Amino acid sequence: MKRSFIYFFLPAFICFLVLGCVSSEPASEPPPPPEDAIYRNPSYTVGQRVADLLSYMTLEEKIGQMTQVAKNFLSSPNDIKTYCLGSVLSGGGMGPVKNEPGAWADMYDHYQSVALESRLGIPILYGIDAVHGHNTVKGAVIFPHNIGLGCTGNPALVEKAAQITAIEVAATGIDWTFAPCIAVPRDERWGRTYEGFGETPGLAEIMAEASIRGYQGESLEDGKTILACPKHFLADGGTKGGDDQGNAECSEEILRKIHLPGYISALKAGSGSVMASFSSWNGKKMHGNKDLLTGLLKNELGFPGILVSDWKAIDQLPGDYTSDVTISINAGLDMIMVPDDYKTFITTLLTAVKNGKVPRERIDDAVKRILTIKFKLGLFEQPYTDRSLLPLVGCEEHREAGRECVRQSLVLLKNKNNVLPLSKETGHILVAGRGADDIGMQCGGWTISWQGMTGDITEGTTILEAIQKTVSSKTKVTYSRDGSGAGKADIGIVVIGENPYAEMEGDRQSLALSTMDINVINNVKKTGIPIIVILISGRPLIVTPEIDKWDAFIAAWLPGTEGQGIADVLFGDYNPTGKLSHTWPADMKQIPINEGDNDYDPLFPFGFGLSY
């Protein structure tokens, strides 16, 4: 019987031992380090502290540090401690129940307190897509999206916007923004066109550097700065057909000439992290491209920071999940935005390391990078929210900076008979169109929620409200969504454009104006009064069939919450200075069209813009 027992149950016992070794459930913990451990003492260098902390860490704790989880997918906040998670993020719309700055700070501090209860007391990095202001938080200032900032040609202003964003993000405790996007969009059909500064590498270069300086300041340890994350490495703006997460088909020469310069600039400015792209280069997914992630970014360019994945992006690699994890980590990714089934990720990577598929040296390198940033941010000494910053969220000074960004981002494309600027004493102004009184449409995607939404979604000034505030008390301002009732007006201002969208949802094969918008314009125009068209959009749209009917035309892009900047231009308080960051195509047959193309014959060329 004894022999029979062993015969039948020994295999199962061995299996139990093996599975126990690779379980995501943590093994019995070693004793905590001494209170006088080097890593706890800020008088030592960051390098010394990192080396000391690494020496105490188990493999499970190291892999936990490489794991980033979206807050809504945490089985319990206690899992931050249990698995020694390195990072938590709020995806689009993932915030506290009450969306206000103080509640965000409470949420952050709670998660951080759990992390500090772990054996080693390693704080988490908290990430968010603050891509045009602290755009998920109600009441924060929402700046123009990057396409508009590119039109300002003013890196100092871009730096200021990033600096203000950093302050408002830090006020809610959060340490890390997944910005700036320094894509070079080469095809306006791409739904993320508005996230890039423009179609040329030169714009990406100067604005990337400015953004990094704004977010990170002189020192990451400064409580008013946050970690930047230029994205998406590499060539996300060069995919065929403008296909989001698609394939960039180009030579290495073009890759380096068009899509790389912005990253070189960002690294020179000291960016502490970089995000890899969903997209592929000549058929190979970027998240598995070791030649580019490690060979180019880390080795050739000497990037010392954290290379983080995009949302669940490793799942798109060919093969099963074990293969996805193994290939992506070996390719050079340091932290994986899982973002949901973190227990499976941890188990899978732990198994891969123990099976020799991922070298322990690769794990140590990744964790060293992560810990280095955490020490540089001062999280071990100041892990909690500085609540003295909370009154600055959405403050008047910040809104004035947003207003200035709007002023400088507007591009005046047509001004027949100098109809602009308008007199503040004009007798009757009709304001029409669905974009005239819609803060959500002004802000576009990545605002409060992932895709954004129309309507009164946050605090701000709509274009209609701005006009009403600007004109003389004797001027009559009426609003008509459909353009009716224009007969008695002296002039019509029609605000048209795109509904909010982000990423994949924004890909379009036709960039024509909507029938609804054309009808509004026609309703106003048929009365015979002069008409000014303001276009709210994330890219140039095809206006050639209609523009001859318009007396003036302003590309306002996605200006954000400070619509007063548009009224400043309309009424001459600011002389327009914006220049096109994208070539404006005459028709869809020209797309893709970019400066320097053969047979370059656009409606408006790159860099075009009128003044008064």
Query: Hey, which residues are catalytic here?
Result: 310
Residue 368 has which token pair? 């060293």
Question: Rounded to an integer, what distance in angstroms lies between the CA atom of residue 215 and that of residue 344?
Answer: 34
Distance between CA atoms of 191 and 237, rounded to whole angstroms? Answer: 10
Q: State how far the Cα of 154 lies from the Cα of 140, in Å rounded to an integer.
A: 23
The single-letter DSSP state of residue 454 is S
Q: How many CA atoms lie within 13 A of 212 on its CB side?
A: 22
Nearest partner of 105 among 87, 90, 122, 119, judged by Cα: 90
List the one residue out of 145, 206, 217, 212 whose CA is nearest residue 177: 212
Asked whether 273 and 304 are in contact (CB, 8 A), the reply is no
| 3-state helix vs strand vs coil in the chain, percent to 5 | 40, 15, 45
Distance between alpha carbon 320 and the CA centroid of its chain, in Å?
29
| Three-class SS state of 415 | strand
Query: How far is residue 25's CA from residue 64's CA, in Å, rounded to a whole number?
Result: 11
Angle between helices 321-331 and 360-376 (to 10 degrees): 60
Q: Which residue's structure tokens are 């810990």?
A: 371
Residue 588 sits at the vertex; the CA angle it makes with 583 and 593, to the nearest 5 degrees, is 30
Tell me the C-alpha distance between 76 and 92, whole Å: 20
Contact 411, 576 (CB under 8 A): yes
Neighbours of 259 (CB within 10 A): 25
Q: Residue type for 74, please?
A: L
For residues 358, 321, 90 and 210, what is the CA-based torsion angle, rounded to 10 degrees?
60
The closest alpha carbon to 452, from 69, 133, 87, belongs to 133
Q: Pull the structure tokens for residue 208.
A: 């990337």
Give the Cα separation of 470 and 451 in Å (integer).
31
